[in-house]
């Protein structure tokens, strides 16, 4: 964070910067998608405790080859217009960060692909080359994004009036509280009443015009 910025843009990752949910893609590759995806939908709609849902779903991945998990996360499909939007935001003086309840295997890989400058997400633990069903990291709880966006604002000395957030699920509500520009992505609807703008088609190329870039 050496380059001075006057504004902050914080994105969710799954179903915001990339298409779909990383954990669902991992589950599909491991043959347990039916057990995982229904829980993902309920968690993103705010119907389940985020930590309990995360821990349960990661537990179902126990035994998956770590190399296979890396491959899945490296081959996620970026959302239309995401890299271009991030470049526009950086040109406009934004420091661009990703806060994700997903995994560093995804957010770390796409940091250079999409161009954001910081990411915080969770770690899939592995033993002897296989996932052991455990997860750790700074983004495991319902309030994790709120805590982390406040830390970023304090570190960068940027207030909510100069903060933009963009997300799609109930666990993004915490960071929506601390930004004057709030973009709801996709069709879940759980964030719509809290958003200043919506992108229902999940096409991030429309965001720049919505915020006046």
161 neighbors 175 (Cβ within 8 angstroms):
no
Annotated active-site residue 12? The verdict is yes
DSSP letters for 116-183: -SEEEEEEEEEETTEEEEEEESS--STTHHHHHHHHHHHHHT--GGGEEEEE-SGGGHHHHTT-SEEE
Q: How far is CA 114 from the centre of its chain?
A: 13
**What's the CA gap between 72 and 65, in Å, rounded?**
11
Which residues have C-beta within 8 Å of that of residue 117, sequence separation ≥ 6?
1, 90, 95, 96, 97, 111
Catalytic residue from among 12, 24, 168, 172: 12
Catalytic residue from among 14, 24, 168, 172: 14
List the end-to-end C-alpha distance of the chain, in Å, as a whole number. 23
Q: Please identify every residue annotated as catalytic.
A: 12, 14
């Amino acid at each position: 964070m050496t380059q001075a910025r006057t504004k902050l843009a914080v994105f969710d990752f799954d179903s915001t910067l990339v298409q779909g949910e990383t954990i669902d893609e991992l589950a599909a590759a491991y043959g347990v998608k039916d057990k995982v995806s229904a829980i993902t939908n309920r968690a993103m709609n705010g119907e389940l405790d985020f930590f309990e849902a995360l821990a349960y779903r990661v537990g179902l991945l126990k035994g998956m080859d770590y190399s296979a998990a890396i491959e899945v996360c490296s081959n996620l499909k970026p959302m239309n217009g995401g890299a271009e939007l991030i470049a526009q935001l950086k040109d406009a003086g934004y420091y661009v960060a990703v806060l994700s309840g997903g995994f560093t295997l995804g957010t770390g890989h796409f940091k250079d692909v999409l161009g954001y400058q910081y990411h915080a997400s969770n770690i899939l633990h592995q033993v002897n080359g296989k996932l052991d069903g455990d997860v750790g990291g700074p983004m495991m709880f319902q309030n994790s994004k709120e805590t982390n966006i406040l830390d970023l604002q304090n570190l960068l000395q940027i207030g909510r009036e100069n903060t933009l957030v963009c997300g799609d699920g109930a666990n993004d509500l915490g960071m929506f509280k601390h930004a004057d520009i709030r973009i709801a992505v996709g069709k879940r609807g759980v964030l719509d009443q809290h958003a200043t703008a919506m992108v229902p088609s999940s096409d991030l190329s429309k965001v720049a015009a919505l915020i006046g870039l």
